């Protein structure tokens, strides 16, 4: 999949704030196609993880109840300016994406 994650991470007073926007359809599997009447298959992000320096700092387990193109924001302690952060997701159809960014 093409890069589907936009991310920004900044540290202030020892706390890093991460803001991300993910492009994903997030289909629940309950909607029907208006033209064919067929159910649209479930297609949603199941797991989002964030790692810094080889340590997992955040894990989110999602389902079809999360809106299309989800926005995720979280904070954690222990990182420094310039550290590399990796944010990745895996969906229920085996798709995945990841992005790396330096903490500002």
pLDDT at residue 2 in the model: 53
Q: Pairing between strand 96-102 and 5-12?
A: unpaired
- pLDDT tens per residue across span 57-103: 999 999 989 999 999 999 999 999 999 999 999 999 999 999 999 99
For the chain, the domains span 5-102
Q: How far is CA 57 from CA 25, 37, 86, 87, 95, in A?
A: 26, 43, 10, 10, 22
Task: Read off the pLDDT band of 3 (50, 70, 90).
Answer: confident
State the pTM of this model: 0.91
- Among the CATH numbers 3.30.70.520, 2.60.40.10, 3.40.190.80, 1.10.600.10, which is that of 5-102? 2.60.40.10
């Amino acid at each position: 999949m093409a890069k589907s994650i936009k991310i920004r991470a900044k540290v202030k007073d020892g706390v890093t704030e991460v803001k991300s926007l993910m492009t994903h359809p997030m289909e629940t599997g309950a909607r029907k196609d208006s033209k064919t009447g067929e159910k649209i298959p479930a297609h949603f992000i199941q797991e989002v993880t964030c790692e810094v320096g080889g340590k997992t700092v955040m894990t989110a387990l999602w389902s079809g109840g999360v809106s299309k193109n989800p926005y995720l924001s979280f904070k954690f302690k222990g990182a420094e300016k310039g550290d590399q952060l990796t944010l990745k997701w895996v969906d229920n159809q085996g798709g995945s994406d990841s992005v790396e960014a330096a903490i500002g």
